């Protein structure tokens, strides 16, 4: 057994070296594309190069370096776009070197530098594959997180300061393949049985502690639908599921669970527990009123079993930005 562990240590070293080598090669490739894009951009700016010259360049590279791929005319123009997008944004230019070219190609067309930075940072932190990144962009992860940040900011007194970019206003659970009509136990079971898929949406800083997590208060037994632990926040996160639209009375049960967790389960070094009420729809004004006097760190979010309307989420985020701008103008 001891010899087996020693062998496993060697294979772990090999895997780590392979990963480091892949990362180094990828970084060099993206840097190469930057330099090519920079040169092409300069030539186009001088008006000495156009579409026909870039096409000739692509053919020249293919003939000179037949084993090198990635220099189609379309990709060369993307290299130019890459440089022109980030040349005045050194932080984003540096972050882009940590991702593959395929990942960068998905992030480049996004509308704002704020959104680009969000996906660059999250892709690095969450270690999203190209496919996972594409899903997050298609499900408007940026807008959903920003909406949650804005709403949590109004409850800053009960939430830890480092909570930014941790939760979402809406969770998209299309990966669970739930039917449109389902019960709470179906939703709970689907999450528990597909925890890897759920953590792709929920976040990889979360560790699953259990389904129907048991609590005993007095002589009575209770159970939290789902209990997680967040490594970054250093606290337990209790999720209560509701397959109906949010009602203010739902909060009472969740607040009770948070009190029981903090009194009986929480360890001395851990932060107070956080609750998420995950509902099948919510009225934001009703939620605001219901949470206005709460002393428990609680978030009300909704879930969708199908891909959300990207346009609707973008419009909601735009409305909040406009509202913030109007408030700032009034204060000035």
Over the chain, what is the mean pLDDT? 90
The 10 Å CB-count burial string (b at 16+, else e) for 151-178 is: bbeebeeebbeebebbbbbbbbbebbeb
- Tens of pLDDT, residue by residue over 257-300, are 999 999 999 999 999 999 999 999 999 999 999 998 888 899 99
Looking at per-residue pLDDT, the higher value among 310 and 57 belongs to: 57
User: Mean pLDDT across the stretch 178-193?
Assistant: 93
Check whether 164 has a pLDDT greater than 60.
Answer: yes
Query: What are the residues whose beta carbons fall under 8 Å from the beta carbon of 202, sequence distance 6 or more?
Result: 171, 228
**pLDDT tens digit string along 69-118?**
899 999 999 999 999 999 999 999 999 999 999 999 999 999 899 999 99
Is the model more confident about 293 or about 308?
A: 293
**Range among 2-16, 82-96, 303-317 rated most confident:** 82-96
Model confidence at 325: pLDDT above 70? no
Q: Which has more confidence, 92 or 311?
A: 92
- Average pLDDT for 208-212: 96
Burial (Cβ within 10 Å: 0-12, 13-18, ≥19) of residue 148: buried
Per-residue confidence band for 160, with pLDDT thresholds at 50, 70 and 90: confident
Q: How far apart are CA 185 and CA 178, in angstroms?
A: 12
Lookup: tokens for 278: 């995950």
Residue 128 makes CB contacts below 8 A (sequence gap 6+) with: 103, 122, 136
Residue 328 is predicted with a pLDDT of 56
pLDDT for the residue numbered 66: 84
Say if residue 158's pLDDT is above 80.
no
Q: What is the pLDDT of residue 310?
A: 72
pLDDT for the residue numbered 132? 95
Q: Would you say 302 and 316 are in contact if contact means Cβ atoms under 8 Å apart?
A: no
SS3 158: coil
Chain-centre distance for alpha carbon 36: 31
Section 63-70 average pLDDT: 87
pLDDT digits (tens, 9 = 90+) for 219-241: 999 999 999 999 999 999 999 99
Q: Does 177 or 329 have the greater pLDDT score?
A: 177
- Kindly state the average pLDDT of the residues 113-128: 95
- Collapsed DSSP state (helix, strand, coil) of residue 268: coil
Residue 266 CA: distances (Å) to CA of 47, 143, 235: 66, 32, 8
Q: With a cut of 90, say whether residue 169 has pLDDT above it.
A: yes
Between 227 and 180, name the one with better pLDDT: 227
* 287-297: pLDDT as tens digits: 999 998 888 89
pLDDT number for residue 103: 96
Q: What is the pLDDT of residue 16?
A: 83
- Confidence (pLDDT) at 326: 59
- pLDDT at position 330 is 58
Summarize the confidence of residues 48-69 as an average pLDDT: 90
pLDDT at 207 over 90: yes
pLDDT surpasses 60 at 332: no
């Amino acid at each position: 057994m001891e010899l087996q562990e020693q062998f496993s240590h060697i294979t772990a070293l090999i895997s780590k070296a392979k990963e480091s080598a892949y990362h180094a090669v990828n970084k060099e490739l993206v840097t190469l594309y930057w330099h090519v894009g920079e040169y092409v951009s300069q030539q186009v700016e001088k008006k000495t190069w156009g579409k026909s010259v870039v096409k000739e360049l692509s053919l020249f590279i293919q003939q000179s370096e037949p084993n090198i791929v990635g220099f189609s005319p379309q990709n060369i123009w993307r290299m130019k776009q890459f440089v022109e997008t980030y040349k005045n944004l050194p932080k984003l230019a540096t972050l882009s070197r940590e991702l593959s070219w395929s990942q960068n190609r998905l992030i480049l067309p996004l509308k704002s530098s704020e959104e680009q930075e969000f996906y660059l940072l999250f892709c690095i932190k969450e270690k999203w594959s190209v496919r996972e990144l594409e899903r997050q962009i298609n499900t408007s992860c940026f807008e959903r997180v920003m909406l949650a940040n804005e709403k949590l900011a109004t409850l800053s007194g009960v939430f830890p300061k480092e909570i930014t970019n941790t939760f979402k206003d809406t969770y998209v659970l299309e990966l669970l393949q739930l039917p449109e009509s389902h019960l709470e136990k179906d939703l709970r079971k689907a999450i528990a049985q597909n925890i890897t898929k759920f953590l792709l949406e929920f976040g990889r800083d979360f560790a699953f502690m259990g389904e129907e997590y048991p609590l005993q208060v007095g002589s009575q037994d209770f159970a939290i639908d789902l209990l997680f632990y967040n490594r970054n926040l250093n606290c337990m996160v209790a999720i209560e599921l509701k397959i109906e639209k949010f009602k203010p009375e739902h909060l009472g049960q969740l607040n009770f669970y948070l009190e029981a967790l903090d009194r009986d389960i929480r360890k001395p070094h851990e932060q107070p527990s956080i609750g998420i009420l995950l509902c099948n729809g919510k009225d934001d004004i009703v939620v605001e009123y219901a949470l206005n006097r709460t002393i428990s760190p609680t978030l009300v979010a909704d879930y969708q079993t199908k891909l959300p309307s990207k346009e609707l989420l973008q419009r909601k985020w735009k409305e909040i930005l406009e509202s913030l701008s109007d408030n700032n103008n009034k204060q000035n």
